[in-house]
């Protein structure tokens, strides 16, 4: 479909798609229970308004809290296993390896295929079902005190969560006006950060309260409750109103914004911003997980405190992480997201270097500030990387989610470094990952500024003076009608023009 020919022809080419009338955003909200949707077909969801997108985004935000909770429990379990099973820091990193290793397999294969073939709804349901099965597997693993069993269970949980992320991240980023894409994902992922704060507090105050270091029985009950909840949530998503945003919708949206962004359709192999984003995300997530996995042990070594006190310090750090996400979301309403990313990555680089050299509570404070500045990095890299992908949006999104597998590599390397040196010097491993990720916002602010700023200036999804959403078929029909009335074209002649 060619959108821009002569000025008078552009209106008609936007109204029709190979002779068929384009669906409107109202129709996109009315056809939410289709079993599957062609990824090459238009649904009308390219011009959803803020009001239309609020409920589905709120529902999907629950998923962000869910895997934030799982991720927060993972860090506590890491320290718990080290004490109860007497394993080294490097071996305990196997938990992260199992969890994040699933991200390397799922998104590029079955998860990415599912979201392109069947759409977002069924990918949500599939991810929740896999997550529930993995949670159930923790019961026998706890009974037999099997470290391998725990790793296997975490791999299944990671498979479910990676499937959810393959659908949830691009859904939030594309469901609504494009200029608010970074804000939406940042705000939704703020609730993931809240889950990461709540999980360690519940673990230390409820799940493992008054238990000795060798008692893992509460683990099985914890995950049994999680399994019941996610299976119930899968049923909710079956009946929930979830509009489908296809790659064809994103291609249309990109073409409609081309006057501002300079967009040109390119093959996937020439999407260099995407490739750089994948590398940056891999290194950033690996470094982030490396810091989180060793935070408690770092605090014990630096401040000479107990593991329980170290868990409290980690909870404070996670609280700063959540605050940072909300703060970044607010900033993005008034400051360009590419600038916000650059400032926050600069803060990460400064304070991780300081944490390596400062001892005592000061070192713990520096590492806590690293968590604060980490807050906006993942969602902002994600949304800026898929900007302008058009028909490649879902595939590109799955690649960026697959980059989360960096969390399988860096924690083990950080733990290995800690076993041979100390936890302060071991922070050099995350420092390397952060340095690679830091190059990405530098690239965005020097090479891709016009494209990114153009999407931020887009009015698609905003209502005009007649209450019609800009970029929607009804808005284009009104424009076409007005243009031909000004030229004196009769209604019958307009019908022939279509």
**pLDDT tens-digit profile of 292-350?**
888 988 999 999 998 878 878 888 888 899 999 999 999 999 999 999 999 999 999 99
pLDDT band at 381 (very low <50, low <70, confident <90, very high): very high
**Whole-number Å distance between alpha carbons of 153 and 142:** 10
Q: Looking at residue 117, what DSSP letter applies?
A: H
What pTM, to 2 d.p., does this model score?
0.86
Are 478 and 468 in contact by the 8 Å Cβ rule? The answer is yes
Q: Looking at residue 22, what DSSP letter applies?
A: P
Q: Which two tokens stand for residue 474?
A: 């009804």
The confidence score (pLDDT) of residue 303 equals: 92
Q: Looking at residue 24, what DSSP letter applies?
A: P
Q: Among 51-65, 81-95, 118-132, 288-302, whose mean pLDDT is lowest? A: 81-95
What mean pLDDT is predicted for residues 192-201?
81
- Residue matched to tokens 């759409």: 119
**Whole-number Å distance between alpha carbons of 409 and 92:** 12
Q: Helix (H) and strand (E) counts for the chain?
A: 24, 2
Q: Looking at residue 35, what DSSP letter applies?
A: S
The confidence score (pLDDT) of residue 44 equals: 81
The yes-or-no verdict on residue 174 having pLDDT over 80 is yes
**pLDDT tens-digit profile of 3-37?**
433 333 333 334 444 445 678 777 777 665 555 66
Are 260 and 178 in contact by the 8 Å Cβ rule? The answer is no
The confidence score (pLDDT) of residue 228 equals: 87
Question: What integer best gives the mean pLDDT of the chain?
Answer: 83
- Residue matched to tokens 């898929």: 386
Share of the chain above pLDDT 90, in %: 44
Closest CA to 257 of 457, 44, 16: 457
Query: Regarding predicted confidence, which is higher, 415 or 348?
Result: 348
**pLDDT tens-digit profile of 223-282?**
787 788 889 989 988 888 888 889 999 999 889 888 888 888 999 999 999 999 999 999
Tell me, rounded to whole angstroms, the distance of Cα 145 from its chain centroid.
33
Cα dihedral: 479, 480, 482, 487 (round 10): 140
**Whole-number Å distance between alpha carbons of 381 and 404:** 12
**Whole-number Å distance between alpha carbons of 477 and 492:** 15
């Amino acid at each position: 479909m060619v959108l821009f020919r002569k000025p008078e022809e552009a209106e008609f080419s936007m109204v029709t798609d190979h002779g068929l009338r384009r669906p409107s955003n109202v129709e996109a909200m009315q056809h939410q229970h289709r079993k599957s949707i062609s990824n090459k077909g238009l649904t009308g969801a390219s011009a959803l308004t803020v009001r239309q997108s609020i409920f589905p985004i709120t529902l999907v935000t629950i998923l962000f809290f869910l895997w934030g909770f799982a991720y927060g429990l993972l860090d506590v379990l890491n320290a718990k296993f080290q004490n109860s099973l007497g394993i080294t820091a490097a071996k305990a990193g196997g938990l992260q390896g199992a969890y994040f290793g699933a991200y390397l397999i799922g998104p590029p294969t079955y998860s990415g295929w599912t979201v392109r073939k069947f759409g977002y709804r069924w990918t949500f349901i599939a991810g929740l079902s896999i997550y529930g099965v993995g949670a159930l597997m923790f019961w026998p693993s706890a009974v037999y005190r099997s470290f391998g069993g725990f790793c296997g269970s975490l791999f299944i949980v990671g498979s479910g969560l990676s499937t959810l992320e393959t659908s949830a991240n691009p859904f939030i980023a594309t469901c609504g006006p494009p200029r608010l894409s970074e804000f939406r994902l940042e705000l939704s992922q703020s609730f993931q950060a809240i889950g990461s704060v709540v999980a360690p507090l519940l673990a230390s105050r409820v799940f493992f309260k008054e238990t000795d270091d060798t008692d893992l029985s509460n683990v099985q009950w914890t995950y049994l409750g999680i399994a019941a909840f996610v299976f119930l949530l899968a049923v909710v998503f079956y009946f929930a109103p979830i509009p489908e945003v296809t790659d064809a919708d994103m291609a249309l949206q990109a073409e409609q914004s081309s006057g501002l962004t300079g967009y040109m359709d390119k093959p996937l192999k020439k999407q260099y911003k995407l490739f750089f984003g994948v590398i940056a995300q891999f290194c950033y997530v690996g470094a982030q997980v490396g810091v989180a996995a060793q935070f408690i042990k770092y605090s014990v070594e630096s401040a000479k405190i107990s593991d329980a006190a170290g868990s409290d310090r980690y909870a404070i750090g996670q609280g700063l992480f959540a605050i940072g996400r909300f703060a970044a979301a607010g900033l993005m309403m008034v400051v360009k997201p590419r600038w916000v990313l650059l400032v926050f990555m600069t803060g990460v680089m400064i304070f991780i270097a300081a944490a390596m050299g400062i001892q005592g509570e000061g070192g713990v404070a520096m590492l806590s500030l690293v968590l604060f500045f980490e807050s906006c990095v993942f969602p902002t890299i994600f949304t800026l990387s898929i900007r302008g992908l058009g028909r490649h949006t879902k595939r590109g999104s799955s690649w960026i989610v697959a980059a989360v597998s960096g969390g399988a590599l860096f924690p083990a390397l950080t733990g290995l470094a800690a076993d041979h040196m100390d936890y302060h010097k071991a922070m050099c491993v995350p420092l390397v990952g952060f340095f690679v990720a830091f190059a990405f916002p530098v690239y965005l602010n020097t090479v891709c500024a016009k494209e990114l700023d153009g999407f931020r200036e887009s009015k698609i999804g905003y209502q005009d003076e007649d209450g019609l959403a800009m970029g929607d078929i009804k808005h284009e029909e009104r424009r076409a009608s007005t243009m031909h009335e000004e030229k004196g074209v009769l209604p019958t002649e307009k019908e022939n023009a279509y």
